[in-house]
Amino acid sequence: KNQVEQSPQSLIILEGKNCTLQCNYTVSPFSNLRWYKQDTGRGPVSLTIMTFSENTKSNGRYTATLDADTKQSSLHITASQLSDSASYICVVSAFSGGYNKLIFGAGTRLAVHP
Amino acid sequence: GAVVSQHPSWVICKSGTSVKIECRSLDFQATTMFWYRQFPKQSLMLMATSNEGSKATYEQGVEKDKFLINHASLTLSTLTVTSAHPEDSSFYICSASADRRTPWRSEQYFGPGTRLTVT
């Protein structure tokens, strides 16, 4: 069964600190992996999209890594800001039920405190 | 960047009535649009995929007669929740892709969501 699992479920850090969010997936065949940021009550906003051949991709203070062999990805946030408080969702593009679609993880809820 | 809007942003309706939610791509042509629902503290669940000018493809377990989807133009898709019940209360989010052939590979742009409460 195609699944995307994220850890931790929630995380609290102090402003200015770094953090790393994890994503493990059991999806085959794999097309791409995406990280989204979702503020409460809003739609997701794309941070990165990574294909099979990409190991790392950055978007400002966000850096995503991908290990296609172990089927693991991480999202590293550097020098966190209060505005980083949100849910971070790992999404894998997969072939399921006869066609391709996005498989969403449950997300990691990040709270950045002053 | 590409912008997707939804209207209304929130709606309260009585049980048994129907509610229409609009999803618009403001600055690009969306050949494929997706509708999701999200319950509190849960992730997004795909309800259906719609291509402009053709019938929507519904996910298993989603009632097509209850959740009517129309994608009549390249910039507008609508989701109508018919005979709404309290269990239909949820956060409904649409997304749009300009790639008809391989939308799962290209960027999807999400709308801000619509909060539906059925009393």
**Is pLDDT above 90 for A36?**
yes
Contact (CB<8Å) A100/B60: no
pLDDT at B106 over 60: yes
Contact A104 B44 (CB under 8 A): yes
Kindly report the nearest CA distance between residue A64 and chain B, in angstroms.
16
Distance between CA atoms of B14 and A48, rounded to whole angstroms?
A: 40
The minimal CB distance from A42 to the residues B57, B95, B113 is found for: B113
Q: What is the mean pLDDT of chain B?
A: 89
CA distance B73 to chain A (A): 22
The answer to whether residue B27 neighbours chain A at the CB level (below 8 Å) is: no
Across B93-113, b (16+ Cβ under 10 Å) vs e yields bbbbbbeeeebbebebbbbbb
- How does DSSP assign chain A, residue by residue? --EEEEE-SEEEEETT--EEEEEEEE-SSEEEEEEEEE-TTS--EEEEEEETT--EEEETTEEEEEETTTTEEEEEE-S--GGG-EEEEEEEEEEETTEEEEEE---EEEEEE-
CA dihedral B54→A44→B88→B19, nearest 10 degrees, is -60
> Contact B110/A44, CB-based, under 8 Å?
yes
What amino acid occupies position B20?
A: K
Tens-place pLDDT, residues A2-26: 789 999 999 999 999 999 999 999 9
Residues of B with CB below 8 A from A44's CB? 44, 93, 110
Q: Which residue has the higher pLDDT, B84 or B108?
A: B84
Q: Give the DSSP letter of residue B104.
A: T
Report how far residue B40's alpha carbon sits from residue A2's, in angstroms, rounded to the nearest whole number.
22
Q: One-letter amino acid identity for A46? A: S
H or E element in which residue B31 lies: none
Give per-residue pLDDT as tens, B18-51: 999 999 999 888 888 999 999 988 889 999 988 8
CB contact under 8 A, A43 and B104: no
Most B CBs within 10 Å, among A27, A37, A46, A50, to test the B interface: A46
pLDDT bucket at B105, cuts 50 / 70 / 90: low
pLDDT of residue A52: 83
